[in-house]
A and B are shown apart, each in its own frame.
Chain A
Amino acid sequence: MEIESTQSGVEAEQRLPRRGLLAAGIGGAAVSLLPFFSGRASATTPPATDESTTTTAPPRQPTADDTALLAAALQIELTVEGLYRQAIGGVAGWTEQQAAVMTTLRQAHLAYANSLSGLLGKSAPSTRSEELFDEWKSDFSGSTDDVLQKASDLESALVATHIDLLAKLQGLNGAALVASIQVAEARHVTALRHLAGITDEAELLVDEEAESLLGAG
């Protein structure tokens, strides 16, 4: 009762605005900043979306199936290197330019085999395909122009083989390596045919690619 009599005075009325307004100001500021802070907090949280990502990234390293395919490609490259080696040593009459091109391409196929071997590691085969070698051996003999023509046909078959491989390979490292080999071998065909004296553009640009060697050896 005593308290009520002192509280209802003018003094109490005058004290409320100063302290009360101060408190109200702080409280209001706190409330008004709530959306800002809540926005900051939500920015750190991944937004919820209805669409879920369904694409599965392909593997980098060769899969088990890839390993078998790349091993076959490696054996083919070793076989081609052997065929070039046989032709360079066994065929007479190479001009300096022809010998330079044949030697460079032989070295390129050896490099491709080594690259594939590096990718495959311990599972890499170290021998060529004798079956494929025997199939092509006779084509890499005779006149130099004949050998250049047959070598270009074999290079075209390699291009087809690599396109075949690319349609099956899952691992990105293997696919990227095969692509870099294939585009170089495509140029080999045109260069070899030009060197053999062919002038027909359809043949030089290979309107019809040869058959794939995959599974042939």
Chain B
Amino acid sequence: MMSFHPQKKVFQVSSGAESFAQWLDDGGAPALDPRIHLAGIVASSEDPIISKNLDGTIISWNSAATRVFGYEPEEILGRSILTLIPPELHHEEQEIMRKIRACERIEHFETTRMRKNGERFPISVTISPIQDATGKVIAASKIARDISEKKKNDETRFRLAAIVDSADDGIISKDLNGIVTSWNEAARKIFGYTADEMLGQPVLRLIPADLQYEEDEILRKLRAGQRIEHYETTRQKKNGELIEVSVTISPIKDEAGKVIGGSKIVRDISDRKRVERLVLQSEKLSATGRMAAAIAHEINNPLESLMNIIFLARTYSVADSRVHNLLLTAEGELERVAHIARQTLGYYKDTGAPTEVHIHDLLENVLAVYASKMIASGIKVDRRYADSQAIMVSKGEMLQVFSNVVANANDAMPEGGVLAISTREVSSAFGDGIEILIRDSGVGIEKDNLARIFEPFFTTKGNLGTGIGLWVTKQLLEQRGSQIRISSRVGPTNSGTTVTIFIPFARPEVRSEATQLV
């Protein structure tokens, strides 16, 4: 209950509003003493209310003060207010008291105070002078508010803002009229508009003309409080370029639960879509490839016969005759077919099940195939094998990969050179595995071409290239979780190309048969 000690001029409020109400219900005096009335208000306040006299002695202490500071009234009454102030902030009290004596009020002063257990916490205090009947300041009342929670919320807000700004996805909010109200850094990167350019602007700016009807539907759903998830569509960048995006839109509600806008998370999926299209294309090609592989055996032998027979026919024809020249042309054309057959069908074998092999053995197999050609072109091979662990790979695929790379290296060194092949076991960002370096001292690849080197049907070899060798190589490697990188240098000295292949020991789950390639 409540006690009043006139001698000590101290109010002691030892219980909260409930007991005060109880006291009223129990038939407390209907003609309420205003002091008791005020005491009731103080007791039921959520905020600590403390009063102190001019020498800083605490003379009243409500239950909220107990809750926040941890002192019971009997512990703290009569003690100095400095008890609640961290030592390094004691100087504040002098200033506060100076103002109080001058009858000034201090409002929402944010500072730090100390709980009984020594914990410091942020607080906002409003301090008012208490005057006697003559207007003389005799004490001060202090309403404090523990703002730890508010501070925490502020921090959360800052943290969220930082997250939003550092997100890779565009995060945009808009009101129910489709006007942009926030725009993060990733949104700038995706669309090219800065926040200044977009805030207050209609979101329709981002929607291509033929898709603007989508926004009506989106806003309709938002108003109905519905969420739209992973909606894939096309949007337009500032420079007019169209991009494929996946958007998730959620309604933003006010405290009352009323929808006031929408937040939109936008992900640029142009790259993913490109890959999907390529995979689709490669699946089509792979079906073709398998069929081609099935008949490769049947093609290569007749090709060999044809080449021999036409060569013989030419040998027996009269030099420089029409027949001789026609056969010469036929031979040239056959040579082209033979090249393409070797490059694309040579090693393919539908080896669905990978087996354990040593990479250097496979490299040796490929080198054996090219040995005579390399000797003829004056290419020396420098081998440095440091892979000792066997690895699970599809042999046919790997032979095709190495064969394509070695063939390119040979083509780059028509005047001879050094083909340096090395292997080593490495730990990389992609896990542990074997790294294979295949370096030629050839002509090198121009920068513009280097950027396009893995594109299907891109070739620098004119009629003799199919433009699918490296593309197939990359597909074969990547579908097995392996990596390929190519760097190159052109110029009069030190030119050459280095192909780096990384094959992980731990294979990711094997993709379905359908994605296997040529």
**Do A and B form a real pair?**
no
